[in-house]
Amino acid sequence: GASRKKKPTKDLYVPLHKDGEESILIDVTEWLMAFSSSALSVSDFLQPFRSGGPKEGIAHLMETCAFPENFWLRFSARSSRESTFKAGSSNTVYYTVAFCRLPEELMVPRAKDRRVGYFETKTTIGGSERVNETINVINRWNLKRFGHVTYYIDPQVPTLFHETIRRGVESWNIAFAAAGCGDGVLRCLSPSDPAFPKDYCRGDARYNAIYMTDSTLPVYGFGPSLTDFRTGEILVSHVLLGFSAFAQGASRHSVEALSERYVRPTCGCRAPLLDASHPDVLKTVLSVTVHEVGHTLGLRHNFIAQEDGNTSAMAYVDEL
């Protein structure tokens, strides 16, 4: 366990050891434990952390994992009502705190423009002869640094979807080429590709992973990214795709799903589902992949396009 007694605030971040001018060891235990307050969403759970930090036995360090460019720590936290940690208990939550190495050379930030739907990062700019001010900059990849962005299909993604996912990722190259960025800016590798890294591991910030959720989660997908808080540069991003949601979504409005072939196996106990290889299912996988990759490129939703009679990959597809 990593629980500690509360320290005076002024002593929390005093260096424990200093080796020369570049290496400093600081005890950040209390700071890491404090993240549990945001992980606990029920008011009863928040009470133990409102006094300025976790109390004895509230949070435990469960697991650590390190990679060349990043590392993360996984914690469990419980309500003061529980005397022990119980896996799956409603009074126990789990959270992860991740750290990633920042680029030594800063990307030139670009101020946000309300007419273009980018995610934003709030940063402070200033200098020796300029008053500091807070501005919002857009989140974007630094193509001058990388030249291209590669996505890696996680080995646990069914091979049935690999080619469809690849098409979804690389379809964005049409837009990059039109913007004058050249060809092949986005690449997608599957485990069967010779260039797929042998040391690939989910959670390694060197690799933009595409993977699927637990089949019980009714989600189509997410497209989270990690950015440099100083410039808005996207450092790593992932595409999280649903599993059963694709078949369920395509089957919900399919007349073919009501045929005897699909209805008979259900015995009237559940809604009929199309096969995972059905064209309608693969079409859903394709559209969701394109949409979520757009988020990993820094783009927000663009629902106004539909209102103007246009189409956008960043709007939700009409299932009908």
- pLDDT tens readout for residues 216-238: 667 788 899 999 999 999 999 99
Q: Is residue 243 part of a domain?
A: yes
- Residue ending a domain, choose from 70, 100, 130: 100
- Residues 47 and 131 occupy one common structural domain: no
Residues 298, 296: Cα–Cα separation, whole Å:
5
User: pLDDT per residue over 46-61, tens digit each?
Assistant: 444 444 444 434 678 8
**pLDDT at residue 81 is higher than 60:** no
Which pLDDT value is given to residue 307? 74
Asked which of 28-37, 244-253, 257-266 is least confident by mean pLDDT, the reply is 257-266
Q: Are residues 157 and 262 in the same domain?
A: yes
Tokens 């646990």 correspond to 156
Q: Is residue 74 part of a domain?
A: yes
284 and 147 fall within a common domain:
yes
> Can you give the residue range of the structural domain that contains 93?
16-100
Residue 109 maps to a domain: no
59 shares its domain with 176: no
Instruction: Over range 248-256, report the average pLDDT.
Output: 75
Q: HEC string of 128-149?
A: CCEEEEEEEEECECCHHHHCCE
Most confident of 72-86, 159-173, 210-224: 159-173
Total domains in the chain come to 2
Based on the fold, state whether residues 144 and 291 are members of the same structural domain: yes
Q: Does 176 lie in the same domain as 54?
A: no
Q: Which residue among 100, 133, 167 closes a domain?
A: 100
- The residue from 43, 68, 100 where one domain ends is 100
Q: Name beta bridge partners: 189.
A: 152
User: Do 129 and 263 share a structural domain?
Assistant: yes
Question: 89 with 125, same domain?
Answer: no
For residue 280, give the H/E element and its range: helix 279-296
Backbone angles phi, psi at 228, to 5 degrees: -75, 115
Whether residues 79 and 223 share a domain: the answer is no
Give kind and range of the element (H or E) at residue 17.
strand 15-19
> Does residue 83 share a domain with residue 184?
no
305-318 pLDDT, tens digit each: 777 767 788 887 66
Give the pLDDT confidence score for residue 71 in this predicted structure: 93
Look at residue 100 in the predicted model and tell me its pLDDT.
Answer: 92
Residue 130 and residue 52 in one domain? no
Q: What are phi and psi of 219, to 5 degrees?
A: -125, 150
Instruction: Specify the range with the lowest mean pLDDT, choosing from 55-69, 97-111, 133-147, 156-170.
Output: 55-69
83 and 134 belong to one structural domain: no
DSSP lists the bridge partners of residue 251 as none
Two tokens, residue 122: 């709030």
Residue 110 lies in a domain: no
- How does the average pLDDT of the chain come out, rounded? 79
Q: Is residue 318 part of a domain?
A: no
Global pTM reads 0.80
Please check whether residue 5 lies inside any domain of the structure: no
Write the CB contacts of 159 (distance below 8 Å, at least 6 apart in sequence): 190, 192
The reply to whether 46 falls in a domain is yes
Token pair listed for 253:
């409005």
Residue 273 lies in a domain: yes
